[in-house]
Amino acid sequence: MVTVNEAKQKIIANVTALSALTLEVRDALGHVLASDILAPMSLPSFRQSSMDGYAIIDTDILEKDTILKISGESKAGQTTTQTLIPGNAMRIFTGAPVPDGATAVVMQENTSSANGTICIHEFPVTAGKNVRNIGQQIQRGAIALEKGTFLSPGSIGFLQGMNIWEASVHRKPKIGLLVTGDELLHKGDSIVHGKIFESNSAMLAAALQKEGIADLEIKYADDNLESTIKGLSELAENNDVVLASGGISVGDYDFVGKAVEALGAQTIFYKVRQKPGKPLLFAKREDKFFFALPGNPASSLVCYYEYVLPALRIMSGRKDPFLTTLKMPAKLAYSFQGERDEFLKGLVVGGEVIPLDGQESFALRSFAIANAVIYLPVEQNVVKEGDLVEVHLLPL
């Protein structure tokens, strides 16, 4: 059995980023850059006005209410070059080219016009005011985005604004999921005493979809070794990571551990000193990875967030694989006994975290409203109201 930290360190030590592929920038949202991107142009590429108003020469403004002659205008999209001469002002709009000779832009609200002239109510006017200089955002040839950058909506807009339409990114892992259990019912089945409706596949598929991973292959296995080996083997052929749901404890009908071993995979660790989710297995065969998750839904989801998700993020090239971690005061007291760390379903509200009711490994109702997981090491088995606890924010 390994500790929580040891398990995470073993994942970091064994998992690496997947190969790169080229995507259209607009299709690369949620991917991670596999190489640096250099700016092919400066942004802005010309001096721009940041306001609607008047382009002026700052040395013309010697006092408040200086009057200047209006000589033309510059609007967004204008391609002709204009020059402003002393004693004149030019009507200008946001994003429009600042004419040669102009040194500042006075916003429209600080002016009044009449009979072809403009009265500048602002004084003094400093050189460069309301002017976006060439390369103010980035200079041509500079690193626009570094390798390892997670591409957000802002990243997509930034790249296309520099005329970059393709990017080299790490591909996301393909996932296979084997759901085990003779007790499971599926859509369309009638309720039968002693059986339950299978929900882990939908739950894990949703969690993967939230991470931007849609390439998921699902198979089902009966509670016997042959069926389990067959399912895992078929999934390992086409996928980078194989998840197994259930069948990993020590019961007479738990065959996943034996099946993983039969496939020639090396077990990196089995069992973590935690509650829930103790019977977690992580194994590797060449470039394929196996995670055997507990069948209880809450245990399975905790293990996904704490161990599987970080592995998938590393494979996707991310530098920040683990859930965002904060220290927050507990809204309610909580205590536990035993020698295992505990993960609690929590709700962050107003700068505090509430340990929710329903912490049992089978209970998903509390997970349905949780937005965080509280991590309590055994050294912190008594928490008083107001005590700081470690909080892992869920990617909702």
Q: What value does the mean pLDDT of the chain take?
A: 96
* 156-205 pLDDT tens trace: 999 999 999 999 999 999 999 999 988 888 888 899 999 989 999 999 99
Domain end: 291, 315, 339, which one? 315
Q: For the chain, what percent of residues have pLDDT higher than 90?
A: 93
The set of residues, in sequence order, having a beta carbon less than 8 Å from that of 272 and lying 6+ positions away, is: 1, 2, 3, 4, 7, 278, 280, 307
DSSP 3: -
pLDDT over 80 at 250, yes or no: no
The answer on 178 and 161 residing in a single domain is: no
Higher pLDDT, 135 or 181: 135
Return the SS3 of 17: coil
Q: In the structure, what pLDDT confidence band is assigned to residue 253 with cuts at 50, 70 and 90? A: low
Is a pLDDT exceeding 70 seen at residue 225? Answer: yes
Number of residues assigned to the chain = 396
Pick from 218, 205, 172: which is nearest to 34 by CA?
A: 172
Query: What integer is the mean pLDDT of 227-245?
Result: 97
Same domain, 289 and 337: no
**Whether residue 384 is found in the same domain as residue 248:** no
- Same-domain pairing of 185 and 209: yes
Is 372 within 8 Å of 302 (Cβ atoms)? no
Supply the range of the domain harboring residue 107.
48-132
How would you classify the pairing of strands 111-114 and 88-92? Answer: unpaired
What are 327's two structure tokens?
């220290």
- What pLDDT score does 185 carry? 84
Total number of domains in the chain: 4
Backbone angles phi, psi at 140, to 5 degrees: -55, 135
Do 14 and 63 lie in one domain? The reply is: no
